[in-house]
Amino acid sequence: MKKVAGLSTALCLLFLGSCIASAQEAADEIMAPPKVLVIQREFVKPGKTGSLHEKSESAFIRAMTAAKWPTHYFAADSLSGPSRELFFVGYPSFEAWEKDNLDTAKNATLSAGLDRASIADGELLSSYDSAAYVYRPDLSLRPDSVSVRNMRYFEISVFTVRPGHQHEWDALVKMYTSGFEKSVPHAHWATFESMYGANNGGVFLVFNPMRSLAEVDASMGDDKQFMSSMSESDRKKLGELEAACVESVQTNLFVFNPKMSYPSEEWIKADPFWKPKAAASDKERAAKPPQ
């Protein structure tokens, strides 16, 4: 990750990524972030993205659907940065994650189906990794004010905190949380701390769910609203905390992909987006009269 100049502005912009709320958003069922979030990343080879990868991933979905597996996940494609897919699986605890793994291993049919799918999918990938994160409600702001299943994008910001500066980081985020809570009424984000995975020491993820990228346009100038709400001494303190604790920050956009997701029936019933129409078969296309 490269260091970012003008960090105060960068922090304002990323925390405002999902601050634009709508009446429909308020009507949606709220969903609290999971206590444990497992993120699997697949880095796809050039030319192997799109429908080719979607077809490969459908084998996992078929295996889990046939087994009526209770653990669900959803996928997102990268719109910036290296070509990759993220798969999000939430659990109420690490014990629940363990149980899911053990139950999968005990199910011979499901395990065999997943193994076959992994072999085919692996041909498309340049690398793969997995990491586990824990939810930090004390560093989040109104994260349950929106329903992720009704969103279409994630803006994900990765913060690396300097070793030994956790105290300053907590103080910094709490200043942002307090300031946005007062100055930007609809601001919301969820923060997760890395616990297991590569380069996980002092790494925090800030999630901003969005319905549309128009929300990014709408929020571009809102950092001024936040900064103007602070006193001169608070702005000075904010800059000092940032300089002391933040080693790097990187922000990227991801778009949800229902074709690579295994959502629950509740998600599908609430939003048809999660059950995309299947492509017509060769027989159906042949039977269709020419236009």
Q: What is the pLDDT of residue 181?
A: 86
- Global pTM reads 0.85
66 is written with which tokens?
Answer: 């046939």
Q: What is the pLDDT of residue 180?
A: 87
Q: What is the pLDDT of residue 218?
A: 78
Best CA proximity match to 121, nearest among 229, 45, 23, 28: 45
Q: What is the pLDDT of residue 223?
A: 74
Topology of domain 7-264 in CATH is Alpha-Beta Plaits (3.30.70)
What's the alpha-carbon Rg for the chain, to the nearest Å?
21
Beta partners for 141? 189
Residue-level pLDDT, tens digit, the chain, 291 residues: 333 333 443 444 444 333 333 333 333 444 689 999 999 999 999 999 999 999 999 999 999 999 999 999 999 999 999 999 999 999 999 999 999 999 999 999 999 999 999 999 999 999 999 999 999 999 999 888 889 999 999 999 999 999 999 999 999 999 999 988 888 877 889 999 999 998 788 999 999 999 999 988 877 766 777 888 888 999 999 999 999 999 999 999 999 999 999 999 999 999 999 998 754 444 444 455 444
Q: Exposed, middle or buried by CB within 10 Å (0-12, 13-18, 19+), for 248? A: middle
Q: What is the pLDDT of residue 221?
A: 66
Q: Directed axis angle between helix 7-15 and helix 232-245, to 10°? A: 100
CA distances from 183 to 174, 187, 222, 249 (A): 14, 9, 10, 24
Q: What is the pLDDT of residue 15?
A: 45
Distance between CA 186 and CA 22 in Å, rounded?
Answer: 9
